[in-house]
Amino acid sequence: MVSFDLYQLSEEHVAIREAVRDLCADKVAPHAAAADETGEFPQASYDALRAADFHAPHIPAEYGGAGADALATAIVIEEVARACASSSLIPAVNKLGSLPVMLAGSAELKQQYLPAVARGDAMFSYCLSEPEAGSDAAGMTTRAERDGDHWVLNGVKRWITNAGVSEYYTVFAKTSAAAGTRGISAFVVEKSDAGVSFGAPERKLGIKGSPTREVYLDNVRIPLGRIIGEEGTGFATAMRTLDHTRVTIAAQALGIAQGALDAALAYMQERKQFGKPIAEFQGLQFMLADMGMKLTAARELTYSAAARSERNAPDLTYYGAAAKCFASDAAMEITTNAVQLLGGYGYTKDFPVERMMRDAKITQIYEGTNQVQRIVMARQLLKGVI
């Protein structure tokens, strides 16, 4: 039986949306085009988000964070993405990187790393993928071997968001020869640890203001206490993390799509052809209607998934995958249609929709491709979880 989760945004959630939207209009959106053009990390946007406590809103209050719930965090990411997709990866990846510590780390590990992220003194990245281990994360070859009172890590991680900018990294590595996922453990590695280095920034289609680089681990020695959870539980922690953070990618997709729809609506009411605004042409209105309908459906699904993330519901795996898949597919369609509605102007950098179309594409790929999301959903259906 399908269960439905009814919700209504609280006054607090509405206030958060308004505050983030105002901040982004003034201090994030003005840097979006430059970040895309130069490929440089939008430090001014980070500083603005940090000053308003929107850079890592998910960190609990006991560690000095804002203590935002999963829905509030999704709203923050959505609104930042509406202005600049690259900047939205600041709160999104801070959650992705630090959530394993929050879910499975020791009390000492949490106290050691979460306050710095809450203050904005450090960002946290997530190192799961490798050159030969993308969707097949269990095929990783990065190793962590115990040597006295240290772990020694060796390997290469690829497609690491904000690599080189983040101070902290959750790294997944094999600690035993156990078959499949049972030999994988998780660790916190610091940028300053000897043996940590980074590859050249990837030359990407979109989200250019968020650096994506390889992370090299060459005999990196870290204290035993930097393991996250028990040895051999790393893969389970990784999957639990993704159940929650796929909601943030759905939120990012929502924001990108909303930004594109906003731009298309404004343009169509100003642009005139045949003596009237093109917004009055029925064929174009049908396109707008489909864009709005799919965006609304994606938002409903994403917020419902966020509610399940907050209470760690048993059907979160399904809803997280469904929200990420549906919202990112919708974002790709909506941004592409926005370019079409602007005609030749949509194809130029004079308007933001071409950037939004390029940015939207990655939401169908990272944190599990949408093909993988459909596998996840099908397995949940076959188990009778939904």
Residues with Cβ < 8 Å from 88, sequence gap 6 or more?
Answer: 77, 78, 80, 81, 252, 255
Check residue 207 and give left, alpha or beta (phi > 0: left; psi -120 to 50: alpha): left
pLDDT above 80: residue 8: no
SS3 42: coil
- Residue with the two structure tokens 């093109």: 278
383 Cβ partners below 8 Å, 6+ apart? none
Q: Contact, 166 vs 126, CB < 8 A?
A: no
Q: Is the pLDDT of residue 43 over 80?
A: yes
Say whether 280 is catalytic: no
Q: Estimate to the nearest angstrom the gap between the alpha carbon of 324 and the chain centroid.
A: 10
| The CATH number of domain 11-119, selected from 1.10.540.10, 2.40.50.100, 2.60.40.10, 3.10.129.10 | 1.10.540.10
In this predicted structure, what is the pLDDT of residue 4?
A: 46
Higher local confidence (pLDDT), 35 or 386: 35
SS3 call for 131: coil
What is the rounded CA–CA span in Å between residue 55 and residue 57? 6
pLDDT for 123 equals 98
CATH code matching the domain that covers 235-383, chosen among 1.10.1280.10, 1.20.140.10, 1.20.1430.10, 3.30.565.10: 1.20.140.10
- Does residue 304 contact residue 319 with C-beta atoms inside 8 Å? yes
Helix H or strand E encompassing 112: helix 107-119
pLDDT score, position 184: 97
Confidence of residue 7 (pLDDT cuts 50, 70, 90): low
Share of the chain above pLDDT 90, in %: 95
Q: What is the average pLDDT value for the chain, to the nearest integer?
A: 96
Mean pLDDT of 247-266: 98
The token duo for 218 is: 């060459």
Q: What is the pLDDT of residue 386?
A: 85
**Which superfamily is assigned to 124-233 in CATH?**
Butyryl-CoA Dehydrogenase, subunit A, domain 2 (2.40.110.10)
Report, as an integer, the average pLDDT of 248-268.
98
Q: What is the mean pLDDT of residues 95-108?
A: 98
What pLDDT was estimated at residue 180?
Answer: 78
Q: Which of 79, 214, 354, 367 is catalytic?
A: 367
pTM (2 d.p.): 0.96
Q: What is the pLDDT of residue 1?
A: 35
pLDDT(264) > 60: yes
- Check residue 137 and give its pLDDT: 87
pLDDT given at position 195: 98
Residue with tokens 């105002």: 22
pLDDT tens-digit readout, 216-241: 999 999 999 999 999 999 999 999 99
Q: Exposure of 239 by Cβ count < 10 A (0-12 exposed, 13-18 middle, 19+ buried)?
A: middle
149-168 mean pLDDT: 98
Q: How far is CA 23 from CA 48, 250, 260, 273, 306, in A?
A: 8, 21, 19, 35, 23
Q: Do domains 11-119 and 124-233 have the same CATH topology?
A: no
Residue 372 scores a pLDDT above 70? yes
Q: Give Cα separations from 289 to 193, 285, 352 (angstroms).
A: 52, 6, 21
Question: Span 326-331, mean pLDDT?
Answer: 98
**Would you say 168 and 191 are in contact if contact means Cβ atoms under 8 Å apart?**
yes
Closest CA to 291 of 254, 320, 345: 254
Domain boundaries, the chain: 11-119, 124-233, 235-383
